């Protein structure tokens, strides 16, 4: 009977340890990270590098209709951080000329807004102009037409 209790106690310890790993993420496989777009960008910016000043560019963020409840609290006039995927970017160098201009000295990729990065993720703070259901109208986004949106955060 004591051996059975000891066995049950050990199984309970293992179950608790496994639960702790699930909660703390200790067994998380860091080599595989998956994101699912929450929407996409619509604008007149069609090719990477084709636009040097996006401050006046207006874009529409088309959010998955099933996620509209997550937009509650957003209002025109606010600034939001848009995280997006550089879907047209391929490859990277750790040292690059700013804006691709060879007349400027190379800098580290992490000091630039280049789409050519180890993880092609863009982040831009934009002005929210209007909301119409699942469509957000914004100004100042430097993402190409069709770029997948990964997340939004109130600035």
What integer pLDDT is reported at residue 116 of this predicted model?
Answer: 85
What tokens appear for 43 in the block? 């604008």
Q: How many residues does the chain have?
A: 155
| Model confidence pLDDT, tens digit, residues 119-154 | 899 999 999 999 999 999 999 998 999 999 999 999
For all residues of the chain together, what is the average pLDDT?
Answer: 86
| Model confidence pLDDT, tens digit, residues 47-68 | 766 556 677 889 999 999 999 9
The dihedral formed by the CA atoms of 97, 117, 141 and 133, expressed in degrees to the nearest 10: 170
* DSSP codes of every residue in 33-51: -----SEEEESS--STTS-
- Global pTM reads 0.77
Confidence of residue 100 (pLDDT cuts 50, 70, 90): confident
What integer pLDDT is reported at residue 93 of this predicted model?
Answer: 86
What integer pLDDT is reported at residue 28 of this predicted model?
Answer: 66
CA-CA-CA-CA torsion sign (87, 46, 148, 139): positive
What integer pLDDT is reported at residue 59 of this predicted model?
Answer: 96
Answer whether 124's CB lies under 8 Å from 143's CB. Answer: yes
What integer pLDDT is reported at residue 10 of this predicted model?
Answer: 75
CA-CA-CA-CA torsion sign (64, 67, 72, 77): negative
At 63 the three-state DSSP class reads: strand
């Amino acid at each position: 009977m004591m051996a059975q209790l000891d066995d049950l106690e050990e199984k309970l310890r293992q179950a608790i340890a496994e639960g702790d790993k699930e909660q703390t993420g200790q067994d998380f496989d860091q080599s595989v990270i998956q994101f699912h777009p929450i929407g996409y960008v619509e604008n007149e910016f069609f090719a990477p590098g084709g636009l040097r000043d996006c401050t006046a560019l207006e874009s529409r963020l088309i959010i998955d209709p099933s996620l509209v409840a997550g937009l509650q609290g957003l209002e025109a006039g606010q600034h939001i951080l848009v995280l997006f995927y550089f879907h047209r970017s391929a490859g990277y160098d750790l040292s690059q000329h700013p804006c691709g201009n060879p007349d400027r000295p190379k800098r580290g990729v992490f000091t630039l807004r280049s789409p050519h990065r180890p993880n092609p993720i863009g982040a831009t703070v934009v002005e929210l102009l209007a909301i119409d259901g699942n469509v957000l109208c914004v100004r100042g986004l430097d993402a190409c037409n069709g770029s997948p949106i990964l997340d939004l955060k109130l600035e």
